[in-house]
Amino acid sequence: MKKLVLEFSTQLQEALIIAKNYRFKTDKREFSNVVVTGLGGSGIGGSIVQNYVFDKMKLPMVVNKDYFLPAFVDKHSLLIVCSYSGNTEETLMAMQQAIKVKATVVCITSGGKVAQVADKKGLDCVLVPAGMPPRACLGYSLVQILNTLCHFDLIDNKFEKEIAASIKQLKADEKTIQKKAMALAKKIQGKLPIIYSAPAFEGVAIRFRQQINENSKMLCWHAVIPEMNHNELVGWRDDAKDKVVIILRNDDDYERTQTRMEINKKVIKKYASSIIEIYSEGKSYWERAFYLIHLTDWVSVDLADLRELDATEVKVIDFLKGSLAKS
């Protein structure tokens, strides 16, 4: 897993090349909505892209993480299917529903049944390299989602230059990022992490939570400011020395949100063991997002090392899938 984390910037480079070389079968057309369907490491790219397009794309975009699609999906919808293995049963079922209602379907996968169905139905299918854990392939899927939206003129291609700049930044800062990640992991070790962020970076916060879950084998939760100010903040009134709060921050977070973060710190510090603030680096959305993603990915694998666990192993998920296959 460490090797895969280390190669994140290289993966982003490869993803841009895959996107540039892919030739869509489907002509440009107008849509009424966009849905990305995918779960876990395959679906998190959709959540992060959803944050990115929030103030850029005129159409509503929904990220679906279920067997079933929203009732509004029809022939005027664009459905982006994300399943790294190509065999995710929830995603396959949603894909079949989209085909049935004649939605425009674009698949992003390394193969499996998704690729087989796409080939049979003549659907667009962007193939990415196979043989890795889905959570280690975020760069591949996320870039293809952006490229799909760009192909249909739903967003412009500005993201390409931003990601290229992100790659340079990550390569230049790699050693510093690794050193910082280990220091953060040592502060988190033995505690239950609670992650907070501004709304525009909720996808990044979810990614961090999922990496703590899968790589570090730890429970964790996340919430967004200001939403948690209207509910969760009230829960901070008992001793919580077994918990550490991590706030993902950006210098350009909305000023009122930053004010709320400062007030929240005053409340929370009375109860939590500590509060850790992680500031992003970079000028663009993608530079900041990928910096935080890469840094926190390292934190998750460093925590696995500190806990003397194999970050790659997910036996309980294998057990779940095996049990489902028998039922």
The mean pLDDT value for 195-222 works out to: 98
The mean pLDDT value for 186-194 works out to: 98
| Residue 105 burial (10 A CB sphere; 0-12, 13-18, 19+) | buried
Domains detected in the chain: 2-156 (3.40.50.10490), 174-306 (3.40.50.10490)
Three-state secondary-structure class, residue 44: helix
80-94, 160-174, 307-321, range with the lowest pLDDT? 307-321
Of 214, 217, 222, 294, the catalytic one is: 214
211: tokens are 């990496």
Give the type of residue at 71.
A
139-148, 192-201, 317-326, range with the lowest pLDDT? 317-326
258 — pLDDT class (breaks 50, 70, 90): very high
327 — pLDDT class (breaks 50, 70, 90): confident
CA 189 to chain centre: 23
Separation between Cα atoms, residue 240 and residue 39, nearest integer Å? 31
pLDDT over 90, % of the chain:
96
| Cα–Cα nearest to 137, from 291, 37, 53, 14 | 14
Separation between Cα atoms, residue 246 and residue 274, nearest integer Å? 9
Is 90 exceeded by the pLDDT of residue 89?
Answer: yes
196: tokens are 């907070």
Q: Catalytic: 180?
A: no
Torsion over CA of 259, 261, 263 and 268, rounded to 10 degrees?
180
The mean pLDDT value for 216-245 works out to: 97
pLDDT digit string (tens) for 101-148? 999 999 999 999 999 999 999 999 999 999 999 999 999 999 999 999
Of 3, 230, 266, 326, the catalytic one is: 230
The mean pLDDT value for 309-315 works out to: 92
Q: Catalytic: 321?
A: yes
pLDDT digit string (tens) for 23-55? 999 999 999 999 999 999 999 999 999 999 999
The mean pLDDT value for 87-99 works out to: 97
Is 90 exceeded by the pLDDT of residue 180?
Answer: yes
235: tokens are 């829960």
The mean pLDDT value for 256-273 works out to: 98
Separation between Cα atoms, residue 313 and residue 300, nearest integer Å? 13
Q: What is the pLDDT of residue 325?
A: 87
pLDDT over 70, % of the chain:
100
Separation between Cα atoms, residue 103 and residue 121, nearest integer Å? 12
| Cα–Cα nearest to 188, from 275, 116, 115, 122 | 275
pTM of the predicted structure, to 2 decimals: 0.96
Averaged confidence pLDDT in the chain: 97
When comparing pLDDT for 66 and 326, which is higher?
66
Give the type of residue at 59.
L
The mean pLDDT value for 235-244 works out to: 96
Q: Catalytic: 160?
A: no
Neighbours of 17 (CB within 10 A): 11
